[in-house]
Amino acid sequence: MTDPRVIRAKAELRRALAEQRAAGATVGLVPTMGSLHEGHLSLIRAARERCDTVVMSLFVNPAQFGAGEDFDAYPRDEERDVRLTGEAGADLVYAPAAGDVYPEGFATYVAPEGQLAEVLEGEPTGRGAEHFRGVATVVAKLLNTVTPDTVFFGQKDAQQALLIKRMVADLDFPVEVVVVPTVREADGVAMSSRNRYLSQDERIRAAALWRALEAVQAAARDDVPPDEALGAGRRTLAEAGIEPEYLEARYADDLRPATTFNGRPVLVAVAARVGRARLIDNVVIGAGAPGTR
């Protein structure tokens, strides 16, 4: 356990990291919006294993919330987050103010285009392109501020991780992107800050998202076409009274629609509202698929 140093100013963070690098330290970055759970802590532990100095950013990014989303209601508890961060092994917590990240007159954004940004979460009926513009912009700013050797993301946000990998390659950021397996509750529910919104009954129903993914997985093992396998997942959701925003099978490297489970790894992704919580989850089926527990 460490007692992490909380830093709010970019200049102070850069000075602290310059001292670490002068001593030969490698730097790992874990970007978060706070409201930490075991999934976040697994990222910090992974960074601790690989890097000499671990920075966790703590910033609820207004640019990735659309109209009517839960920016104002998003859970915030910095004191708790800093304590958990220290228990997991981070050295520094970078917690800037919104006005420092997006100062008056801010007008330059990173706007991903193409297949990776336009499907699933990027659909106009979903969170839309503005969401990923906000994500890419804040991550680019964090990478420029921290200049880490390695940055860590969770598999639960698989599409986000793919987009960040694409941005890093396209814009020549000298950083390795590491994706850490999803951490789940005992009943399979993917850990999420938004799980706090669920009532007791809704929390039980939310487990159907993972059961639906397992149903697709089981059907895929029987060598059925993706559409038929997805049907098994939709039936599982329907039994729990859940109508998904999407339940789709797409190739895990480029998010194009999957036509078979025999060959390239396939990302099966789901999003659905349970009560006032919008939940996402996924599983990768096929050779080289990452673990999920």
Which residues are the active-site residues? 40
Q: Which residues contact 271 (CB under 8 A, 6 or more apart)?
A: 120, 121, 126, 244, 245, 246, 278, 279, 280
Question: What angle do the packed helices 200-221 and 226-239 form, to 10 degrees?
Answer: 160
CA distance 246 to 75: 25
CA distance 183 to 189: 9
Q: Which residues contact 23 (CB under 8 A, 6 or more apart)?
A: none
| Residue type (1 letter), 217 | Q
Residue 153 sits at φ, ψ, to 5 deg, of -130, 160
- Contact indicator for 118, 163 with CB cutoff of 8 Å: no
